[in-house]
Amino acid sequence: MRRLNRKKTLNLMKELDAFPKVPESYVETSASGGTVSLIAFTTIAILTIMEFTVYRDTWMKYEYEVDKDFTSKLRINIDITVAMRCQYVGADVLDLAETMVASADGLTYEPVVFDLSPQQKEWQRMLQLIQSRLQEEHSLQDVIFKSAFKSASTALPPREDNSLQSPDACRIHGHLYVNKVAGNFHITVGKAIPHPRGHAHLAALVSHESYNFSHRIDHLSFGELIPGIINPLDGTEKIASDHNQMFQYFITVVPTKLHTYKISAETHQFSVTERERVINHAAGSHGVSGIFMKYDISSLMVTVTEEHMPFWQFLVRLCGIIGGIFSTTGILHGLGRFVAEVIFCRFRLSSYRSTSVPVPDGHTSNHLPLITDNSMH
């Protein structure tokens, strides 16, 4: 009884087989089928390797939301070299309300030589080349995000030659914390003097002939300092054509949360628009000579997350590739054989019809001979 039930179950499973097996004696192989199979296997191997490469790669996902953090402080990282002596320049930050001056105690004034050494010039040239490529191909920013902390530092390398030239410039570097509102970081003539109604700079003792706001921005960033991240103004160099010249940078800062497989940090991206002009009150060009960086904080926050293809999705795509190639090549092979057989049959039929028959008078008849009863006998 058990054997009978087992046999019925086995027969039932055989009836449910969706993959019936054809006996090998009924299978006919051909040279064309072998060629198509070789092409199919080669294509499957190539696409499988390419799909595995895509599976190993990652991409950056951007999400946008409203920034609800208004109470925290904003960190500004600064490394700027101005072609004036340190006793002649001063740097500070004034917020939008112009009632609170952020103290610049976190900045260091270091006397340096403005001209770069050969190694430093090579560094600046490479950084400017990367900046030009980033402006043309924005997708390179994703590569920089993924390679943060793994790439070499983007800071200016130290001077390797012992220059005997006396310092003629001032390197202002460090960081400071400001309120998370629009503000103006500026470097101008004279040290800042705070007073209840705002602030001023003590510039009366500096002659106009000594004004030279040629400058080089080695680094400027907002938020947490992340090695390997290249910011839009890194490597910028401006040479003043006049003593009374104003350089303006209008910056829009976007809070950014960066989550990759290597790091998780809160930083800020920014875009910048540049403008420069010569101060000439007689010609109607008013203002103060110096370097002014006016920044504004965006109300949107960007979350950048590095994502990876799930393994199950990789398997589904791989099965689709293999099954699709097998089905497509089978259809194309069958269609090709059908077309070839039709053309070959028509060719044979036309050659059979064009067979000539000789007649006694020496002429040729293209008609088939008539079969009669006498000829049968």
Q: Give per-residue pLDDT as tens, 95-116.
A: 876 555 555 567 889 999 888 8
Nearest to 83 by CA among 206, 22, 171, 192: 171
Q: Could you tell me which of 248, 242, 250 has the C-alpha nearest to residue 278? A: 242
Residue 209: DSSP 8-state: G
User: Rounded mean pLDDT of 319-343?
Assistant: 83
Given a cut of 70, whether residue 280 has pLDDT beyond it is: yes
Average pLDDT over residues 346-361: 59
| pLDDT confidence of residue 264 | 81
112-166 tens-digit pLDDT: 988 888 888 888 888 888 888 877 776 677 777 777 655 555 677 777 766 677 8
* 363 vs 220, higher pLDDT: 220
- Name the maximum alpha-carbon separation found in the chain: 140
- Tens of pLDDT, residues 53-95: 888 888 888 889 998 887 888 889 999 999 998 888 888 888 8
* Of 225, 219, 228, 227, nearest in space to 143 by CA: 228
Q: How far is CA 309 from CA 55, 60, 204, 303, 313, in A?
A: 6, 12, 64, 19, 7
Of the ranges 85-99, 177-191, 224-238, 315-329, which one carries the lowest mean pLDDT score?
85-99
Identify the bridge partners of residue 220 per DSSP, sorted by sequence position: 78
Whether the CB-CB separation of 262 and 144 falls below 8 Å is answered with no
pLDDT confidence tier of residue 25, bands split at 50, 70 and 90:
low
Q: How confident is the model at residue 220 (pLDDT cuts 50, 70, 90)?
A: very high
What is the model's pLDDT at position 80? 93
Are 296 and 253 in contact by the 8 Å Cβ rule? The answer is: yes
Q: Would you state the pLDDT for residue 33?
A: 73
- Predicted confidence at residue 263, as pLDDT, reads 78
First to last CA, the chain: 73
Token pair, residue 167, equals: 């310092």
pLDDT in tens, 37-62: 888 888 889 998 998 988 888 888 88
Cα radius of gyration (the chain): 40
Say whether 217 sits in a helix, a strand or coil.
Answer: strand
Helix 311-353 with 31-56: angle, nearest 10 deg:
160
| Cβ atoms of 65 and 303 closer than 8 Å | yes
Query: Do the beta carbons of residue 215 and residue 171 sit within 8 Å?
Result: no
Mean pLDDT score across all residues of the chain: 79
Contact (Cβ atoms closer than 8 angstroms) between residue 114 and residue 165: no
- 92: nearest Cα among 276, 292, 356: 292
Amino acid 253: pLDDT: 93
Indicate the domain borders of the chain: 31-67+308-328, 70-298
Q: In this predicted model, which residue has the larger pLDDT, 37 or 24?
A: 37
